[in-house]
């Protein structure tokens, strides 16, 4: 029997970590960046404060001056009083010791004296013969337990001191300044002085000065004065900074927490709300209103709410537009189907010709509908591609009227310019040139349709405060009062007498309102009335913002 093929074991896939607006707060990269950026800056400042390099350098310079002054005084006194008499100068050991005993040595200071053979003959640590008499403490002493906060504070302080002490650059500095007492003594016996900061074998910082003891020009010994209290002073100053450092870390934490609460959390709320809005059209109001913050995040929430409302309004408009298109196209299609079915059973040529005329009218109507629907659907795209320009109101009006006058047929209403504008005070608007001209052409075409053959269409433009008002009026039968607003609805048609069926799609005025709204303007219709209330014609009014004088060319 053949062996079954071995199946390869597959490791179970790890569950992907939740990403996007649903990630946890502490896994948020923005939150981490806030805390890390504040922490890094604080660590740099604290490290610089704890190293206290400038303070330590100043303290060392001051110590060197003090130690050097004391060493110079001691060598001068020993050279004058403890080097014997006569021609043969020799160091007086007892006299030198007596002089060192008389020196007031500060705590943490030490003075050594070496002779010509580099032998130590005097040391202040062994010259002090003071006897202290006091009662000894009990052998077993009950020591109270230290408070935990003191132990905790001391442990932290020791840990910080240890980390700072073992920094690589500090270790390298200690190695370069390692003290060699024999080298200093030999240099002193050769008549040279040496001084500066040094580190002993226990890594303690000391300041040392070695000066030769001379009688005239002969070197009889070397005095070495050292101070080992520099490290304790720096440590005490560093410990004094502990409360300030604690407050700095507390301020850093509170600052980071505030940024997280006022920046990161609102951004997360907006991201989650945007995610909810994308999943459900019924939650279009899920984006919180943070506009009261009066900052960039408040502006962002306001813009997101406006954008969401605009997008859903556009989606609703598209749905309504699609439904209207389907309804309008369905009518000629139904008529076509009925005419084509009837054409098969038509018996006389007259009936066939009549049905063919109906079919041609329906095809023309569909062609007109499709053309106008295509234009209406491209309005927003055309506006997005256009660039707003500064347009002269008088020039726009004159060009439009001149175009219709030159293309006017012998029979039909006339188009005239009724604007009265000052030549030396031009008026400008900020508009998209081609779409705005299309609005005026649509209004004029609509007025020509409803005007009698001997009538007149008047185009005017005038300035009203910070607005510019364009008016197109005809001498037709006017508009019913109940239809003054519905004439701007899509596919609304009110055919004048004698007009052929299907010659108007009802999209012209809807396109006009769409374009004027994009210009932050308004458009509405009125009836022209005489003193007795008789309708003299219709009037369409376009109101758009005037360009500010500071922006006029």
Q: For 221-242, what is each residue's pLDDT tens digit?
A: 899 988 887 777 777 776 677 6
User: Is the pLDDT assigned to residue 401 strictly greater than 80?
Assistant: yes
- CATH class of the domain at 385-551: alpha beta
| CA dihedral of residues 238, 242, 244, 248 (deg, nearest 10) | 110
User: Is the pLDDT assigned to residue 498 strictly greater than 60?
Assistant: no
* pLDDT score recorded for residue 17: 45
User: Is the pLDDT assigned to residue 301 strictly greater than 80?
Assistant: yes
Tell me the pLDDT band of 130, cut-offs 50, 70 and 90. Answer: low
User: Is the pLDDT assigned to residue 349 strictly greater than 80?
Assistant: yes
Helix or strand or coil: residue 471?
A: strand
Average pLDDT over residues 445-474: 87
* pLDDT score recorded for residue 544: 92
- Positions of CATH 3.30.565.10 in the chain: 385-551
Tell me the pLDDT band of 137, cut-offs 50, 70 and 90. Answer: low
Tell me the pLDDT band of 373, cut-offs 50, 70 and 90. Answer: confident
* pLDDT score recorded for residue 25: 54
* pLDDT score recorded for residue 388: 82
Closest CA relative to residue 191, chosen from 204, 169, 175, 210: 210
* pLDDT score recorded for residue 470: 93
What's the pTM value of the predicted model, to 2 decimals?
A: 0.48
Rounded Cα gap, residues 545 and 201, in angstroms = 86
Residue for token digits 């640590």? 125
- Residue 310: Cβ-neighbour burial (10 angstroms; 0-12, 13-18, 19+): exposed
Token pair for 139: 């052998």
Highest mean pLDDT among 49-53, 233-237, 322-326, 445-449: 445-449
Average pLDDT over residues 435-462: 87
User: Is the pLDDT assigned to residue 268 strictly greater than 70?
Assistant: yes
* pLDDT score recorded for residue 51: 57
- Positions of CATH 1.10.287.130 in the chain: 289-377
CA atoms within 13 A on the CB side of 541: 15
Token pair for 348: 């006389």
Lowest mean pLDDT among 179-193, 236-250, 333-347, 511-525: 236-250
Residue for token digits 């038509």? 346
Highest mean pLDDT among 60-69, 322-331, 339-348, 486-495: 60-69
Identify which has the larger pLDDT, 4 or 136. Answer: 136
* pLDDT score recorded for residue 542: 93
Q: For 253-264, what is each residue's pLDDT tens digit?
A: 888 787 777 787
- CATH class of the domain at 52-126+149-240: alpha beta
Highest mean pLDDT among 105-109, 137-141, 418-422: 105-109
- Terminal Cα-to-Cα distance of the chain (whole angstroms): 96
The Cα-based distances of 151 to 93, 145, 147, 381, 549 in angstroms read 50, 10, 7, 73, 75
The pLDDT mean for the chain works out to 78
* pLDDT score recorded for residue 46: 65
Q: For 164-212, what is each residue's pLDDT tens digit?
A: 667 787 788 788 888 888 888 888 888 888 888 888 888 888 888 999 8
User: Is the pLDDT assigned to residue 495 strictly greater than 60?
Assistant: no
* pLDDT score recorded for residue 541: 92
User: Is the pLDDT assigned to residue 436 strictly greater than 80?
Assistant: yes
User: Is the pLDDT assigned to residue 422 strictly greater than 50?
Assistant: yes
Rounded Cα gap, residues 320 and 326, in angstroms = 10
* pLDDT score recorded for residue 16: 46
* CATH fold of 289-377: Helix Hairpins (1.10.287)
Identify which has the larger pLDDT, 137 or 25. Answer: 137
Average pLDDT over residues 493-501: 55
Q: How many residues does the chain have?
A: 553
Token pair for 148: 């935990």
* pLDDT score recorded for residue 4: 45
User: Is the pLDDT assigned to residue 506 strictly greater than 80?
Assistant: no
Beta bridge partners of 416: 458
User: Is the pLDDT assigned to residue 218 strictly greater than 70?
Assistant: yes
Q: For 308-340, what is each residue's pLDDT tens digit?
A: 887 887 777 777 777 767 766 777 788 888 888
Q: For 463-491, what is each residue's pLDDT tens digit?
A: 888 889 999 998 888 888 888 888 887 76
**Which residues are within 8 A (CB) of 327 and not within 5 positions of it... i.e. 6 or more apart?**
491
Rg over alpha carbons for the chain, rounded to the nearest Å, is 50
Identify which has the larger pLDDT, 380 or 211. Answer: 211
Q: For 271-296, what is each residue's pLDDT tens digit?
A: 888 888 777 766 777 788 887 877 77
Beta bridge partners of 461: 470
Residue for token digits 């030769």? 212
Average pLDDT over residues 19-30: 57
């Amino acid at each position: 029997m053949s062996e079954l093929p071995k199946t390869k074991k597959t490791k179970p896939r790890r569950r992907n970590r939740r990403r996007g607006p649903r990630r946890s707060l502490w896994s948020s990269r923005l939150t981490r960046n806030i805390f890390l950026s504040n922490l890094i800056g604080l660590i740099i400042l604290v490290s610089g404060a704890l190293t206290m390099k400038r303070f330590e350098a100043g303290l060392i310079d001051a110590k060197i001056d003090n130690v050097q002054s004391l060493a110079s005084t001691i060598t001068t006194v020993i050279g004058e009083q403890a080097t014997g008499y006569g021609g043969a100068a020799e160091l007086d050991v007892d006299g030198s010791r007596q002089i060192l005993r008389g020196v007031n040595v500060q705590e943490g200071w030490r003075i050594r004296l070496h002779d010509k053979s580099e032998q130590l003959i005097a040391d202040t640590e062994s010259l002090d013969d003071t006897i202290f008499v006091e009662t000894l403490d009990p052998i077993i002493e009950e020591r109270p337990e230290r408070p935990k906060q003191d132990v905790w504070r001391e442990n932290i302080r020791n840990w910080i001191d240890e980390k700072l002490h073992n920094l690589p650059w500090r270790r390298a500095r200690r190695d370069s300044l390692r003290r060699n007492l024999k080298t200093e003594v030999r240099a002193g016996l050769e008549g040279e002085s040496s001084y500066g900061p040094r580190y002993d074998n226990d890594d303690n910082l000391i300041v040392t000065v070695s000066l030769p003891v001379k009688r005239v020009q002969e070197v009889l010994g070397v005095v070495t004065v050292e101070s080992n209290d520099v490290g304790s002073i720096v440590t005490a100053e560093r410990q004094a900074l502990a409360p300030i450092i604690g407050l700095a870390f507390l301020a850093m934490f509170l600052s980071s927490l505030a940024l997280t609460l006022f920046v990161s959390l609102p951004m997360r709320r907006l991201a989650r709300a945007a995610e909810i809005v994308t999943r459900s059209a019924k939650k279009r109001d899920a984006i919180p209103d943070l506009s009261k913050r009066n900052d960039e995040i408040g502006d962002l929430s306001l813009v997101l709410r406006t954008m969401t409302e605009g997008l859903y309004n556009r989606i609703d408009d598209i749905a309504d537009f699609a439904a209207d298109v389907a309804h309008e196209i369905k009518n000629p299609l139904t008529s076509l189907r009925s005419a084509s079915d009837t054409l098969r059973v038509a018996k006389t040529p007259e009936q066939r010709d009549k049905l063919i005329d109906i079919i041609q009218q329906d095809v023309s109507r569909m062609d007109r509908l499709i053309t106008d629907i295509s234009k209406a659907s491209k309005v927003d795209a055309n506006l997005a591609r256009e660039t707003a320009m500064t347009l002269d109101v008088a020039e726009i009006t004159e060009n439009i009227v001149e175009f219709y006058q030159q293309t006017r047929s012998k029979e039909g209403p006339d188009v005239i310019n009724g604007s009265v504008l000052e030549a030396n005070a031009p008026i400008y608007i900020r508009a998209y040139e081609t779409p705005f001209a299309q609005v005026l052409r649509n209004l004029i075409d609509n007025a020509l349709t409803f005007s009698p053959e001997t009538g007149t269409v008047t185009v005017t433009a005038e300035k009203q405060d910070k607005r510019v008002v364009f008016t197109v009026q005809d001498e037709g039968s006017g508009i019913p009062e109940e239809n003054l607003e519905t004439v701007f609805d899509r596919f609304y048609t009110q055919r004048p007498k004698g007009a052929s069926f299907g010659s108007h799609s009802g999209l012209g005025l809807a396109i006009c309102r769409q374009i004027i709204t994009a210009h932050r303007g308004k458009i509405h219709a009125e009836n022209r009335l005489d003193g007795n209330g008789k309708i003299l014609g219709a009037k369409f009014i376009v109101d758009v913002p005037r360009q500010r004088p500071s922006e006029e060319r």
